[in-house]
Structures are given as structure tokens and as C-alpha cells.
Amino acid sequence: MTAKSVPLSVRVSDEDALFLAELQVPDAVTPSEKLRAILHEARRRHTGMQDASEGGLLLREMATPARRNVRRCEGKLGRKSDVVLKLYERLPDIMARLIAGPNDSASPESLIEFEKEILDQVCVLLKDFVTVGLTSPVRVYGEENFTAEMEAVMELVELVRVHQRNKKGA
């Protein structure tokens, strides 16, 4: 059974009309078909971002062209960055969880669980960065920049340790 379609009339700027005319959408040729495809994709993204797992997949999909471009550039230049790779792997899930929000915002437990999930994911990313720093040679584009940033992070970690020791001893 086909859903009933509702005719719409819209006015768009010349710039948007040109964009729509030049937009390449699989199986969509006419402006109407392209607008339906855009609406379908917007609905898919909207509903998908309500669920953190689905949202992670959607965000990863959105980042795929950029990730491919990075890999293409790396191949041409013979360079690799484990830091950039880890960000492409981990950030979509972190952002999707943040966008989806807590499962039940009325419950303190749901907020605690929400925070725990995000904290777990962020700590995995931090561990990934520390692991990259332990490898030799370090696979980053600018080793000096990475080393300087990681030294600053490690100094902060040491300050936290000293603070915690002092707090326990007080």
C-alpha cells in the first residue's frame, strides 16, 4: 500500500534552486524527487540520533568522505596519523551519545549512567592517545606538536596524583 502524497508548493532562493539542480542524488532526477530524498535523509538522521548506537553509525557515515580524503592525502604523502585515525573511530560514538542524551532525564540514575557512558568513551580515547605516544616511531604528522601536547597532559595527570595524595594525607 502506497502512502498518500501531499502536494506542496515551495519557493526557494536562486542559490538553493541552483544547488538543487546540481545536487547528485541516486535515483532522483527531478527537483521533487531530490527534495523527497533530502526529506527522507533528514528524517533518518533525526530519528537515528535519538539512539546512540544508530547515531554513531550515522555520524561515522557522515565523516566517511572526509576520512577517505585524509587517507588519500596520507597515501600521496606517505604519512599516517594514528591520532587522526583514533578520532575518526571514537568521536562519532561520543558525539552520538551526547546528542541522544540520557535515557530518562527525570531520573538521577539515568544521568549518572549517561555520564558514565561518556566518561568511559572519553577515557578510551585518552588511553588510545597515550598508547600512540608509547609506540616507536610515533605515527603522527607533527611529532613535535604531539609530544608537546602529551607532555602537558602528563603534567596535569601528575598534578592530579599529587593533589589526591595530599587530600588523602590531610
- Can you spell out the DSSP letters for 49-96? TTSHHHHHHHHHHHHHHHHHHHHHHHHHHT---HHHHHHHHHHHHHHH
Task: Please spell the DSSP secondary structure of 1-57, one letter per residue.
Answer: -PPPP--------HHHHHHHHH--BTTB-SHHHHHHHHHHHHHHHHHHTTSHHHHHH
C-alpha cell at 70: 585524509
For residue 104, the SS3 value is: coil
Of the two residues 134 and 3, the one the predictor is more confident about is: 134
Please, what is the Cα angle at 22 between 21 and 27, to 5 degrees?
A: 80
Of the two residues 169 and 149, the one the predictor is more confident about is: 149
Q: What is the pLDDT of residues 14-25, one digit of tens each?
A: 999 899 889 898
Q: What is the pLDDT of residues 40-64, one digit of tens each?
A: 888 888 887 788 888 899 999 999 9
* pLDDT at 76 (0 to 100): 97
Q: pLDDT-derived band of residue 2, with 50, 70 and 90 as boundaries?
A: low
In one-letter notation, the amino acid at residue 108 is P
**Residue whose C-alpha is closest to residue 149's, from 137, 162, 159, 140:** 140
**Residue whose C-alpha is closest to residue 21's, from 7, 10, 32, 11:** 32
* Residue 151: its H or E element: helix 143-169
For residue 136, pLDDT over 90 is answered with no
Q: What is the pLDDT of residues 67-108, one digit of tens each?
A: 999 999 999 999 999 999 999 999 999 999 999 898 777 789
